[in-house]
Amino acid sequence: MDWIMNPWPWYVGGPLIALILFLLLYFGKSFGMSSNLRTLCTICGAGNQSDFFKLDWKKQQWNLLVAAGAIIGGWIASTYLTADSSVLIHKDTIAKLHQLNIKSAGKAYLPEELFSLTNFLKPKVFSALALGGLFVGFGARYAGGCTSGHAISGLSNLQLVSLYAVIGFFIGGLFMNHFLLPYIL
């Protein structure tokens, strides 16, 4: 059972993501997680404020079901299928994070400095999480998709524009990682 309880290698995780893509396509749907954010806005009544949110959310139920599945999957995996959730990243990365005062690097699933119940309410941490979320939500809709919609679905369909989007993801991510995060953390 060790192979289930230990972290899964990339050659298990990647093909499983492709399997989700196949199942959604086979049932005549498309694979994209950030569409759920738009649907949730619609459910909250944003349709009265912008035509962008005037959609029949019942047609999006499939995608919401995938999101619900992700929640349940996260719960099952963390509760029953994980012995030690520490993420063993590269030792250089751990050393670098220690320098940036992220002492939980190598010992936790998420940095406790950002995601623990006592730390996340600190004004600096809260603003960082909020800003990150805002950019993810805004950027995903502006770009018409996120990692699943562009890097997986879009590139699989050989869409040139998805390549622009994925290059953008990496420009933004690298800039944040190398130039901004050292000041934020």
Interacting positions 44-73 with another protein (CB under 8 A): 44, 46, 49-50, 52-53, 67-68, 70-73
CB of 1 to another protein, least distance (A): 13
Closest separation between CB of residue 58 and another protein, Å? 17
Contact set for another protein, span 86-125 (CB under 8 A): 87, 89-90, 92-93, 96-97, 105-106, 108-111, 114-117, 120
Q: Does 182 bind another protein (CB under 8 A)?
A: no
Q: Given its phi and psi angles, is residue 106 left (phi above 0), alpha (psi -120 to 50 degrees) or beta?
A: left
CA distances from 129 to 78, 125, 184 (A): 22, 6, 11
Rule CB under 8 A: choose which of 59, 155, 182, 183 binds another protein: 155
CA distance 105 to 112: 9
Amino acid identity for residue 119 in this structure? N
167 secondary structure, DSSP code: H
